[in-house]
Amino acid sequence: MSGAIDITRLHKAYGRHVALHSLDLHVTPGTIFGLIGPNGAGKTTTLRTLVDVIRPTSGTARVLGEDPRTGGAALRRRIGYVPGELRLEGRVTGHRLLAFYAEVSGPVAPGAVDGLAERLGVDLTRPVRTLSKGNKQKLGLIQAFMHRPELLILDEPTSGLDPLVQREFLQLVREARDAGQTVLLSSHVLSEIQQTADEVAVLAAGRVVAEGDVASLRLGSVRRVRAVIATTDAAATATRFDRLPGLSGLETRAGDGILHLSGTVDGAIDPFVKALSPFEVQDLTVEEPDLEESVLRLYGDGAASAPSRGGETRRSRRQRAQRGERDRG
């Protein structure tokens, strides 16, 4: 099946630095495809290639059946794009700026702009230069969604948005998919991908190190946990948790009948919660680790060994830097 996006052996080098290594991706029409990875993984380079902001060193990309390098304005009108570094300035109001974008992007249904502005909570009568980063980001989202493009390419789209607006944005993404549009969503926020994406690719050092549906990738199976419990025997209690399957990196601190526990749970959270049940739990926190930690922990073999600069691995680059520090010392 021809994809909304088909990338084959895409390679991009900036001198000795290789940003993308023979990347292959297929995005099925009418789906939400999540592209995740730590900063520097190659997400933005991939997306900029798809909208012909940069051109690959080798390989091919097809967007809505066309080559971005030759598709021109006609192809760009079929795409809604939010860049990762959105810069909007000027004395014009939000209304005037979006009216200009509408002339470029094609027909916008009556009321579409105002409806999006109301949902995202942005005042379009204010000059763009007076808006906060978050409100400028909202303008970027409106210009991407307002003409109902066949394909939405969104690079870190929730940057600067408060949690309520982030939730509204994710609803817009789901509605776009339900209307038959395709969404390519790049993010370093794991929860955004978990809540919306049908398919996911994990990038690390310019390579796809894992790909599939969210459930199969186990993206949320690693969590940091912290607990404060009351216990009369802190040493025995700490030993009990130290032997708990799936709990690693355990750190404890005891005093005055209170034990502080922290560590990382890989897999089901239920055994850890049940281990707490005999005690008086005074505080409990469960949170996702940062995305880079998740990628390296779950897919470390592919991520850590992927060349990211002139064939040099992340590990060898770190070792070289450490040798340099010793030499300077």
Record the tokens describing residue 144, joined without a space. 């991407």
- Give the pLDDT of residue 160: 86
C-alpha–C-alpha distance, residues 48 and 38, integer Å: 17
List pLDDT tens digits, range 16-31.
999 999 999 999 999 9
| 1: CB partners within 8 A, 6+ apart | 28
CATH 3.40.50.300 in the chain: give the residue spans. Answer: 5-217
C-alpha–C-alpha distance, residues 253 and 162, integer Å: 35
Residue 26: alpha-carbon gap to chain centroid: 18
CATH of region 222-287: 3.30.70.260
C-alpha–C-alpha distance, residues 161 and 191, integer Å: 15
Secondary structure in 3-state letters for 118-167? HHHCCCCCCEHHHCCHHHHHHHHHHHHHCCCCCEEEEECCCCCCCHHHHH
List pLDDT tens digits, range 136-193.
999 999 999 999 999 999 999 998 899 899 999 999 999 999 999 999 999 877 778 8
* pLDDT one digit per residue (tens) for the chain, 329 residues: 689 999 999 999 999 999 999 999 999 999 999 998 877 889 999 999 999 999 999 999 999 999 999 999 999 999 999 998 888 888 899 999 999 999 988 899 999 999 999 999 999 999 999 999 999 999 999 999 999 999 999 999 998 899 899 999 999 999 999 999 999 999 877 778 888 999 999 888 899 988 888 766 655 567 889 999 999 999 999 999 998 988 989 999 999 999 999 998 987 889 999 999 999 999 999 987 655 566 666 555 455 444 433 333 333 333 444 444 343 34
Please report where in the chains the tokens 């949902």 appear, as a residue. Answer: 119
Record the tokens describing residue 185, joined without a space. 């969503």
| 267: CB partners within 8 A, 6+ apart | 221, 246
Closest CA to 262 of 280, 292, 281, 284: 284
3 state DSSP class of 68: helix
Record the tokens describing residue 293, joined without a space. 């930690």
User: What phi, psi does 175 have (nearest 5°)?
Assistant: -65, -40
C-alpha–C-alpha distance, residues 73 and 77, integer Å: 6
End-to-end CA distance of the chain: 58
3 state DSSP class of 17: strand
Q: How crowded is the C-beta side of 172, counted as CA atoms within 13 Å? A: 26
C-alpha–C-alpha distance, residues 227 and 287, integer Å: 12
Record the tokens describing residue 35, joined without a space. 């592209």
Give me the architecture of the 5-217 domain, per CATH. Answer: 3-Layer(aba) Sandwich (3.40)
On whether the CB atoms of residues 168 and 120 are closer than 8 A, the answer is yes
H helix or E strand, kind and range, residue 303: helix 300-305
CATH 3.30.70.260 in the chain: give the residue spans. Answer: 222-287
Please report where in the chains the tokens 């980001």 appear, as a residue. Answer: 137
